[in-house]
Structure 1
Amino acid sequence: MAVIKIPYSKGFVDLEVSNENLLAVLESKAHHFKTEEDQVTIAKRALENPIDSPRLMELAKGKNKIVIITSDHTRPVPSKITLPLLLEEIRSGNPNADVTILIATGFHRLTTYEEMMNKFGEEIVKNEKLVNHDCRDKDSLVDVGILPSGGKLILNKLAMEADLLIAEGFIEPHFFAGFSGGRKSVLPGVASGTTVLANHCAKFIASEYARTGILEGNPIHRDMVYAAEAANLAFIFNVVIDSEKKIINAFAGDRVAAHERGCEFVTALASVKAQPADIAITSNGGYPLDQNIYQAVKGMTAAEATAKEDGVIIIAAACNDGHGGKAFYDTFIENPTAQSIMDKIMQIPMEKTIPDQWESQILARILIKHKVILVTDQCDPKMVTDMHMLHAYTLEEALTMAHEIKGEDATVTVVPDGVSVIVGN
């Protein structure tokens, strides 16, 4: 019997799979990447040796209004480490700079005070100026132009009025933007709802290039790069983390060159070969990414990439924050089948994109070909079944259900952390 640790909430749960059924365990090498250096040393070295850019302390000289875009409560960016280093670097070049930390909520809800304390720490929350980006607050937004896709580019006014715009984040595989990090801090991070909707339209999400680990030819990425350029994003500081959310590498400097270097590093670690199985088991990487069903769709796409057609997907995700999007949830309770959802979405033009449509589209794509069992003991099971999935309280219960569907001899591939891998052929 194989025992595999699966990230769940703020810890791990054990998955037991019989050796006769287990086909493969697909893991990012990042989870076993060993470094003798501590996290601060790794991060500081990146800041001191920026890629295709002067040091941040040089860029900060003579700048009055400096804005740092940081990730929100749904992203495991280790800001307690990275933000103090950024602030130190800025103030060593410009002690009197007016610094605002802009929380890139994208299309998510606003980050609460408690979540800020948990993510940034008391020192930053009580002594720095933090502002939640609100994609629906028209007074805080400004019209910037038109995206390559034809959508309107509307961005946060604070970001656009900054003398120096910086972004911190982390780089991991992303299920339709190719990778997180870099340009994504601007779009969707500090973009208006209108802009996010245009960028996440049905046509783009359906593109064969809008997939994990793909940047070239990806129409969503192309819009994001344009938005970062239009915002004059001058410097990025992106980290790569392991399964314990610890920094194993960092990349700072030019918004394009530093991000590309980071993506190359992640690709080398995260690429795994698909092992098509009757049952594919995964997670959404644990807290904070597994707080809701909306986010959990990301992990499902890793299992989708290694499950046989008509296979069963099992995903462990706490979903303690519920569905994660009312429009997302309503789409499933208002439609009888995944196919009917897909048919409706594919008829929606870019300018009529509805909130959370992209997540509904991807979940529907998965459900058309697979039964999905969501494992959680932290949210209402009815919410799960309302969204056309099966519910289980434990991985053991879910695996029993899957074998009842696919047979006792069904093969099993496990992707312990679905958001950390690029599953390819």
Structure 2
Amino acid sequence: MIQLPSNVWNGDEPEFFDPPENWDVSVFRMKGDHAPPVAEDEIIKALREPTGTRPLSKLAENGGEAAIVFDDMTRPTKLELIAKAVVEELSRAGTSDIVFICANGAHGTYDREDFVKKLGEEIVENYPVFNHNPLANLQYIGDTSAGTPVDINAEVMSYSLKIGLGCILPHPQYGYGGGAKIVLPGVAGIRSIIYNHGVLGGWSAAMAVRDLHPTCQMAYGRVNDENILRRDAEEAARMTNFDFIVNTLVNTKRENTHVFAGDIVEAQRRGVEVARVHYSTQISFEFDVVISNAYSKASEAAIATWPSLCLKHGGTLVVICNSRTGQVSHYVHGRWGMRKKGGYLYLPPPDTLKKAGRVVFVSKYQEKQPWLEIYEDAVRVKTLEEMIEVIGKDRKRVAVFPDATIQKPF
């Protein structure tokens, strides 16, 4: 019996997979799969002994206000303990005017229930929490050296102390998340995001006629500081005078296993040194079936298609995705209709899927509207038992990836 994490942000109840006896099954887990969660005192220590800057309470001494920017529901980070620790450190320094801003970038908006899941009831009851709007309430602060117009959430810019909370994960465009990504795209305007992602990186339907920037090709968990999008975002973060970041790594239970705090660039660099090993996954090839579970970033399930590279040509890719909310509404890369594909930088299906002869999409929450274009021609089933019936119980080499949205093959 194989246990697969599932139902992110909605009970996190796992799925149990009992493969047929004739299947030769290999389970590929990331190295940090069973890493233990950080203790509360480790969080406090990180805030008081940060990387590349003064302790958070010292940074807060010269003012009584702070904007805390936190990652959205597309990220698995449980921030309740971290948010409380940050507020306590700010309170020790006399900070009483605190606002929380969700770094939803071009991801649409969230509601009170989401904010409670992310930050905890106590924070939502006692502090104002807002969505970022990439279309309005922006302050233009100049252009980066690469030409990106930097429009940043005006509420964030109005506070003298700016703090970010989030996680470091492998990322298909930036190589790794965390750090300055909380600023651009997190609380940036739509034209900033379009220039950064599209003009610099090349991420759009135009990929059919032009190459991605070399530092963006196969970026997922492979590059970081050399990545052109990250360098641009870090320059933008410096322009905003962003003061402090708290980034974590997570295991496949979404527990925070490491915490890195301090300067928005230096702390992220330190975290990536550990992340390179933590999320790494030993892989093999020429499987008849690859079962790829989308959990931590289930609302961005396209990320879970990379294990198709382990298939035999024409093999079967199974994607498991129990996302009660479906796929994230992405104003830049997303699809906005059946006839008109929408987003400014609409993304076509990834090339990695060309190796698959068939895609089976397993979800309790099927929709007539395609969640992702890559699944339009997929066989859709609601249970793992149905999936087995579709594939057949005859002898097969099968690979299983418990959370392909955060595992990386490099």
Whole-angstrom CA distance in 2 between matches of 1:219 and 1:310 = 35
Q: Which residue of the partner structure matches residue 390 of structure 1?
A: 379
Q: Which residue of the partner structure matches residue 268 of structure 2?
A: 259
1:9-408 equivalences under 5 Å are 9=7, 10-18=12-20, 21-22=23-24, 24-34=26-36, 39-93=39-93, 95-137=94-136, 140-201=137-198, 203-205=201-203, 206-207=212-213, 209-210=215-216, 211-213=219-221, 214-276=223-285, 277-286=287-296, 289-290=297-298, 292=299, 295-301=300-306, 303-325=307-329, 330=335, 333-334=338-339, 354-355=343-344, 357=346, 360-361=347-348, 363-370=349-356, 371-380=358-367, 383=370, 387-402=376-391, 408=394
| Aligned CA distance change for structure 1 residues 309 and 42 (closer, same or farther; 3 Å) | farther
Whole-angstrom CA distance in 1 between matches of 2:20 and 2:85 = 47
1:13-67 CA-partner distances (Å, limit 9, x unpaired): 12233576435322122221246xx531221221122112110000111124321
Number of matched pairs: 389
Task: Give the TM-score normalised by the residue count of structure 1.
Answer: 0.83
Q: CA deviation at 1:156?
A: 0.8
Give, as a single letter, the amino acid of the residue that structure 2 aligns with 1:311: G
Q: CA deviation at 1:372?
A: 2.6
| CA RMSD across the alignment | 2.7
- Asked if 1:414 corresponds to 2:403, the answer is no
Whole-angstrom CA distance in 2 between matches of 1:356 and 1:126 = 37
Gaps of at least 5 residues in structure 1 are 336-340, 342-352
Whole-angstrom CA distance in 2 between matches of 1:162 and 1:219 = 28
Whole-angstrom CA distance in 1 between matches of 2:214 and 2:362 = 29
The answer to whether the 8 A contact 1:199-1:220 is kept is yes
| Aligned CA distance change for structure 1 residues 249 and 329 (closer, same or farther; 3 Å) | closer
**Higher helix fraction: Structure 1 or Structure 2?**
1
Q: CA deviation at 1:106?
A: 0.9
Identity of counterpart residues, as a percentage? 24
Whole-angstrom CA distance in 1 between matches of 2:108 and 2:268 = 26
Gaps of at least 5 residues in structure 2 are 204-211
The answer to whether the 8 A contact 1:271-1:423 is kept is yes
Whole-angstrom CA distance in 2 between matches of 1:7 and 1:106 = 27
| Aligned CA distance change for structure 1 residues 229 and 319 (closer, same or farther; 3 Å) | same
